[in-house]
Amino acid sequence: MECQDIRKNLYAYLEGMASPEDQELIDQHLASCRACSTALYELNRTGEVLKNLKDVEPPPWMTKKIMARVRQEAKSERGFIRKLFYPLHIKIPLEAFATVLIAVIAVYVFKAMEPEMKDLQALSQGAGHRPPRSPLSGKSSGCGNTGSPGEGCCPKEPR
């Protein structure tokens, strides 16, 4: 058996759970290998320490303190989560940032579309979609009544 194998089986050996053959092999190895016997000693000591720790009773004030803390945490859990995810001082700048971002995007889109819009306007004007405008009535437009150039052509007041 190599040292690595011995180390793997040391705990079982210590607890008496190793097979008799392994037990004997480990015994033989430990007799000749100082490193492994030291490892066994350390393992044994750690186990003892752990066993002793199990017997230690926590002081009564500790239980009270922990339980009080748990109740407090449970009470303020909702508030805590809310604070964690939506802290006011973060939410407001976030919204402000989003607003600014949207404004900037809108400006960019508008700038990008501006030439196209001009082209569209030129196209629609070139297609002759303009309202009918007579040369006589300069200011008034769209009425079609070209008889009286000076006054408003549409009959606003009853005759």
Q: Is 3 in the site for Zn ion (CB under 5 A)?
A: yes
With contacts defined by CB under 5 A, name the span among 20-28, 33-41, 43-51, 111-119 that binds Zn ion. 33-41
Q: Is 39 in the site for Zn ion (CB under 5 A)?
A: no
d(CA 99, CA 105): 10
The C-alpha angle 48, 38, 19, rounded to 5 degrees, equals 75
With contacts defined by CB under 5 A, name the span among 26-34, 54-62, 118-126, 139-147 that binds Zn ion. 26-34
Q: Is 36 in the site for Zn ion (CB under 5 A)?
A: yes
Q: Is 10 in the site for Zn ion (CB under 5 A)?
A: no
Four-point Cα dihedral 128, 131, 133, 137, nearest 10: -170
Length of the chain as a residue count: 159
Q: Is 30 in the site for Zn ion (CB under 5 A)?
A: no
